[in-house]
Amino acid sequence: MQTPSYYWGTGRRKNALARVRVRPGDGKILVNERVVEDYFPRSSWQSHALEPLKVAGIEGKVDVFVRTSGGGLTGQSGAVRLGIARALLKLNPELRPVLKKAGMLTRDPRMVERKKFGLKGARGRYQYSKR
C-alpha cells in the first residue's frame, strides 16, 4: 500500500472551521493560499495556530496547507491549531502522548451563548427604573 501524499485533519472552534493538509516537506505554511504572516497579522494568532508543530518538534520539516472559514481570526487560529494536531497524529501516531499532554487534541467546547428575548444580549438586561 502506498503512503498518502497528504494527511488530513479537521479543526473547529466557535464558528470557525479549518481543513488542514500536512505532508513532509521544507516548512511551507499557507492559510487560504496566503502566507501565515499575511493571514494572521497578530503574532499571538500565528503562534497559537502553529503551536502543535513546535510542541511536536517538527517545525520546518512539514508543509501545511489550510482552508479555513467562518468565525473570526481568533476562532480560526484555534481551529487551525486543532486541525494541524489531528493531521500530525495521522502523519505520526507516536506524537499522541506529546500532543495530548500539551492539550492540543481537545476541541474547545465553548460557544457563544444565545441572545434571550426581552434582553439586550445573552445576559445583559435593560436598566431597571423604579419610577
Question: How confident is the model over 77-86, as pLDDT tens digits?
Answer: 999 999 999 9
31 phi/psi in degrees, rounded to 5: -120, 120
| CATH code at position 72 | 3.30.230.10
Whether residue 45 is contained in a domain is answered as yes
Residue 58 placed within a domain: yes
**Farthest CA pair distance, the chain:** 79
Write out the residue range of the structural domain in which residue 28 sits.
Answer: 7-101
Instruction: Dump the DSSP string for 25-73.
Output: SS--EEETTEEHHHHS-SHHHHHHHTHHHHHHT-TTTEEEEEEEESS-H
- Given a cut of 80, whether residue 37 has pLDDT beyond it is yes
Total of domains in the chain: 1
SS3 106: coil
CA distance 30 to 37: 9
Average pLDDT on 21-49 reads 95
CB 79 within 8 A of CB 49: no
At residue 104, the pLDDT reads 94
Quote the CA–CA distance of 69 and 20 in Å, as a whole number: 12
Q: What is the pLDDT of residue 4?
A: 72
Q: Is residue 97 part of a domain?
A: yes
Answer yes or no: is 124 within a domain.
Answer: no
Interval 59-77: pLDDT, tens: 999 999 999 999 999 999 9
Residue 42 lies in a domain: yes
Give the pLDDT confidence score for residue 131 in this predicted structure. 85
**Model confidence at 2: pLDDT above 80:** no
Answer whether residue 123 is part of any domain: no
